[in-house]
Amino acid sequence: MGGKSDEVEKQDMAWRLIGAVVGLGVGFVARKAIEFAWQKATGKQPPADPNSLETSLAEAIGFAVVMGVGMEVTRIVATRTAHKRYRAWKGVSRKAEQVIGS
């Protein structure tokens, strides 16, 4: 009573699964792209171990910032795009989604 219907729960679970798969795939590709860009921009390989004393503090922090921001922006864009496509494919309108509470 007052809970989600079975169909809504199935759609919710399907979206979670799709979102997880998209997130993993995009994360892998984004990491490789950021590492490639780092190598082209600096002429050096990305630090394999930022905690190593052989890696300068500036390089370790710089790579961490670039990787963190790049990965998060990529994740947000990919997840939002996938969610819009999923809603369009399932025919779920924003108004219906608000009523359901997703």
* Tens-digit pLDDT profile for residues 55-70: 899 999 999 999 999 9
- Average pLDDT in the 31-50 region? 92
Residue 9: inside a domain, yes or no?
no
pLDDT digits (tens, 9 = 90+) for 13-35: 877 888 788 888 899 999 999 99
Query: What is the pTM for the complete model shown?
Result: 0.68
- Please report the DSSP string for the chain in residue order: --S--HHHHHHHHHHHHHHHHHHHHHHHHHHHHHHHHHHHHHSSPPPS-TTSTTS-HHHHHHHHHHHHHHHHHHHHHHHHHHHHHHHHHHT--HHHHHHHT-
5-14, 36-45, 79-88: least confidently modelled range? 5-14
Q: How many folded domains does the chain comprise?
A: 1
Question: CA 26 → CA 23, 59, 65, 73, 89, distances in Å?
Answer: 5, 25, 18, 11, 20
Higher pLDDT, 27 or 10: 27
Residue-number span of the structural domain to which 94 is assigned: 25-100
